[in-house]
Chains A and B, each alone.
Chain A
């Protein structure tokens, strides 16, 4: 089946620095990718929808200037956590669907990136 990869799998950074997370669809083209965040013992929360060639759509309460999303190609979306702080420490998961209109296609998820901000 389709595969979504993420890099890095984990990252530790100092407070105030920026961190970039890459998400790639490996064997399909994704005009849309989704970014989720998951805190310990909680469910996945949608952060934003990333659209190739246009601006991302952010969920309510997610700061677009803090979580920069770039969807430069049909197989790559990046999430940059700018000026990271300890409260941004979380498990970030990207996702995409090899979508065909009218078909209930599977949504594939990356393995996640664990971010720890010191």
Chain B
């Protein structure tokens, strides 16, 4: 799977939107973009995923650049409970039932 680059850390004020960037310049046409997050002392949890079009769900929105070389996870109103490490992961649609491979992610701090 192609590599992703994320900032090590970001900070946000509570109740403000957060835009978490991810660069994936070597993405292939069959790579899905997945976002997971890991709250302190917990296992990771799924946030959202997409291929080409922007995606919305109850947790977040995923904005994918037209050339697909970058994407942004958007939390519309950050809460203290959103403080976590956010992982952007590429996964080929033909990779079968293979495990996700995690990079370092972005540690998001939310300030009250």
Contacts and interface: CB of A to CB of B under 8 A. Distances in A.
Contacts, number: 55
Interface size class of A (residues with CB under 8 A): 20 to 34
Provide the main secondary structure of the chain B interface: loop
Interface stretch (A11-19, A78-86, A105-113): A105-113
A45 B49 CA distance: 21
Nearest to B51: A104
Contact of B43 (A95, A101, A106): A95
B55 to A, nearest CB: 12
A107 B30 CA distance: 18
A43 B103 contact: yes
Contact of B102 (A6, A43, A101): A43
Contact of B105 (A34, A43, A91, A108): A43
Contacts of B45: 109
Nearest to A2: B46
A97 interface: yes
Given A97-B97, A101-B96, A106 B46 contact: yes
B43 A110 contact: yes
B112 interface: no
B99 A49 contact: yes
Provide the main secondary structure of the chain A interface: strand
Contact of B49 (A31, A104, A109): A104
Given A110-B43, A112-B41, A99 B91 contact: no
Contacts of B44: 44, 93, 95, 109
A45 B99 CA distance: 11
Best-buried of A34, A36, A97, A109 by chain B (most CB within 10 Å): A109
Given A104-B49, A109-B45, 10 more contacts: A1-B46, A4-B43, A36-B102, A43-B105, A46-B99, A97-B97, A106-B46, A107-B46, A109-B43, A112-B41
Interface of A: 1, 4, 6, 31-32, 34, 36, 43-46, 49, 91, 93, 95, 97, 99, 101-102, 104, 106-112, 114
Question: Which 3 residue pairs across A and B have the least CB separation, nearest first?
Answer: A109-B43, A34-B99, A99-B97
